[in-house]
Amino acid sequence: PSGIVLKNLLNSFHGRIYPVNPRYKELNGIPCYPSVANIPDNVSLSVFITPPAIIPALLREHAAKGIHHVIIATAGFGETAGGDENEKEISDIARLSYIRIIGPNCLGVFHPSVGLDTFFLPYDRVPRPQQGNISLISQSGSILGATMILIRQEGLGVAKAVSYGNRVDVGVPELLEYLRADKDTDVIGLCIESVGDGSGFIRAAQGCRKPVVVLKLGQQPAGKRAARSHTGSMAGRYEVFQAAFRRSGVYEAR
């Protein structure tokens, strides 16, 4: 997966890219560094695709380097037996170090206008849509990938897409607030299993002047169990979500 991300970024990203892996001095024709501490420049964003056990140490290295934005694609946290403690540890480190996290257990960000594509999905399996006016927020990476294929088949385009996974930090309210101010976004699609901050979600949705369409996963008992094993989410009572959707003025897709 990390090789796919690197190739995708080299194919599309407009900025500088720094592979980090202590086993290599070069990857795909560009210098590779043993640690973020060895990178000579400032770094805006890191993508982690590493074993879960080393992520706390990596976050501490990032804090020392002054890197404050991280996407953790790695799974093996709150969605697994015993993973809750690992998830709490990375959350505590991030909070104390002022590091913002998307993930863990996610695809990250697709932002075509700047060529940022952190999805570990090869183009031949998941062809990317053209740039457009639809933005997507999805807790499920697989549903987001399938949606992007369908959008491409329909001849439509994507402004931004975010797969946020276990939501240890950044969640739907913040992403909605970002997209409602985004000049490239005209309509927002959500795919959620749970919402950690219900009142924050309602406030963000009510303040959005753009159409918001939501698909709620985990409506039935089997779906709730799947959500728990998928992103560690407690899917909650569907009736409560329906009431929140009505109050927020969002459109629910069935």
On the question of pLDDT at 230 being above 90, the answer is no
Query: Percent of the chain beyond pLDDT 90?
Result: 70
What is the pLDDT of the chain when averaged over all its residues? 89
* Separation of alpha carbons 185 and 201, rounded Å: 18
Give residues with Cβ within 8 angstroms of 138, minimum separation 6.
Answer: 144, 147, 161, 162, 163, 164, 189, 190, 191, 192
Q: Is a pLDDT exceeding 70 seen at residue 223?
A: no
Instruction: Using CA atoms of 163, 139, 48, 150 in order, give the dihedral in degrees to the nearest 10.
Output: -40
Give the C-alpha separation, 228 to 247, whole Å.
Answer: 26
> What per-residue confidence (pLDDT) applies to 225?
57
> With 60 as the cut, is the pLDDT of residue 70 above it?
yes
Question: What pLDDT digit, counting tens, does each position of 120-160 carry?
Answer: 999 999 999 999 999 999 999 999 999 999 999 999 999 99
Statement: residue 217 has pLDDT above 90: no
- Between 166 and 248, the more confident residue is 166
**Residue whose pair of structure tokens reads 């927002």 in the numeric block:** 188
pLDDT digit string, tens, across residues 37-54: 999 999 999 999 999 999
Percentage of the chain surpassing pLDDT 70?
Answer: 92
Name beta bridge partners: 108.
163
Average pLDDT over residues 197-213: 86
Q: Which of 60-74, 84-98, 207-221, 226-240 has the lowest mean pLDDT?
A: 226-240
Choose the weakest-confidence range: 7-16, 53-62, 228-237.
Answer: 228-237
pLDDT at 198 (0 to 100): 80
Task: Band the pLDDT of 183: cuts 50, 70, 90.
Answer: very high
